[in-house]
Amino acid sequence: MAGSTPTVSEYITHHLTNLTFGKLPEGFERADGTIIGDGGAWVMAHGGAEASVMGFNAIHVDSMSWSIGLGIVFCWLFRSVAKKAETGVPSGVVNLVEMVVGFVDNTVKDTFHGQNRLIAPLALTVFVWVLLMNLMDLVPIDLVPKILQLVAGVHFQKIVPSTDPNITLGMALGVFILMLYYSIKVKGFGFVKELTMTPFNHWAFIPVNLFMEVVGLLAKPFSLGLRLFGNLYAGEMIFILIAALFSAGALWMVPAGLLQIAWGIFHLLVIPLQAFIFMVLTIVYLSMAHEDH
């Protein structure tokens, strides 16, 4: 996007590129002709090609800052409401927060049958945080990137953290670590027995059982992260495509606007639903970790 009008595929690729900060190897020639000196350099990437050269030594600055920022918003909002809460009839934002807390509390009581004081706060955090990250999908896609480009000269910006697989799989990895921790803590040696002796309870089937159980265990966090990522990525992709319709001429403006509204309304269903599913599956997986046979 160097001033000239981009084609549709350039526009889409531009919107799907993260703002990446990472280390370029020495001798690499950048887009503006400069060559990286000895020992490499830590810089902001200009485009996908530089980001892929960075490999593992890179961080998506936009995803990290938006997700951590939304996490801070969540903590601040719920803390300020918790300090204001009293026994009278609640109103406004207090009412909303009490509804969310009550809803999550009921879901946890219905789904989780073990004894653990961590699960309900964890479920609340997961639900509200994922919901806030997904809600960024409803912000008009060009608004924030364009403002940042004009004001601060930042070229790439993806404001929906849950369209970044690193964020969703990172959250799923956190759930996976908790699953392993509680499996070992609650079941002890029973966890090893569960991995080796089910579904065929015979010593000759240990390799088969182990393979099946380990695949089943690893598939849980993987599908958890990919489900959230895939839904939001596909939604964002279609928002971008509809936005690209506006470049097709004045005739297309009204249909494109209507499509944008229709897809936005559909997303009002998808966004809380995916946050809810992420939360419920987190509780279910942790509940399974607590079940001792």
**Residues engaged in binding another protein (CB under 8 A):** 7-9, 12-13, 226-227, 230-231, 233-235, 237-238, 241, 244, 270, 273-274, 276-277, 280
Question: Any catalytic annotation for residue 227?
Answer: yes
Other Cβ atoms less than 10 A from the Cβ of 124: the count is 20
Min CB(239)–another protein separation in Å? 11
Question: Any catalytic annotation for residue 63?
Answer: no
Please identify which of the residues 30, 65, 116, 227 carries the catalytic annotation. 227
- CB nearer another protein, residue 204 or residue 265: 265
Inter-residue contact 1 to 39 (CB < 8 Å) = no
> Residue 269 is encoded by which pair of tokens?
């269903």
DSSP state of 138: G
- CB nearer another protein, residue 14 or residue 30: 14
Min CB(84)–another protein separation in Å? 30
Min CB(91)–another protein separation in Å? 26
- CB nearer another protein, residue 21 or residue 239: 239
Q: What percent of the chain is helix, strand and coil (3-state, nearest 5)?
A: 70, 5, 25
Distances (CA, A) of 104 to 44, 134, 217, 250: 40, 18, 25, 46
Distances (CA, A) of 162 to 64, 77, 172, 278: 11, 21, 12, 12
Please identify which of the residues 106, 201, 223, 247 carries the catalytic annotation. 223
> Residue 121 is encoded by which pair of tokens?
């706060």
- CB nearer another protein, residue 209 or residue 274: 274
- CB nearer another protein, residue 59 or residue 219: 219
Min CB(273)–another protein separation in Å? 5
DSSP state of 252: G
- CB nearer another protein, residue 9 or residue 87: 9
Assign 21 to helix, strand or coil. strand
Q: Which residue has the tokens 């020495």?
A: 26
Question: Any catalytic annotation for residue 209?
Answer: no
Min CB(157)–another protein separation in Å? 18
Angle of helix 206-245 relative to helix 189-197, nearest 10 degrees, comes to 90
Phi-psi region of 81 (alpha: psi -120 to 50; beta: other; left: phi over 0): alpha
Alpha-carbon distance of 236 to 134, in angstroms, equals 10
Min CB(124)–another protein separation in Å? 18
Alpha-carbon distance of 293 to 290, in angstroms, equals 10
Catalytic residue set? 223, 227, 231
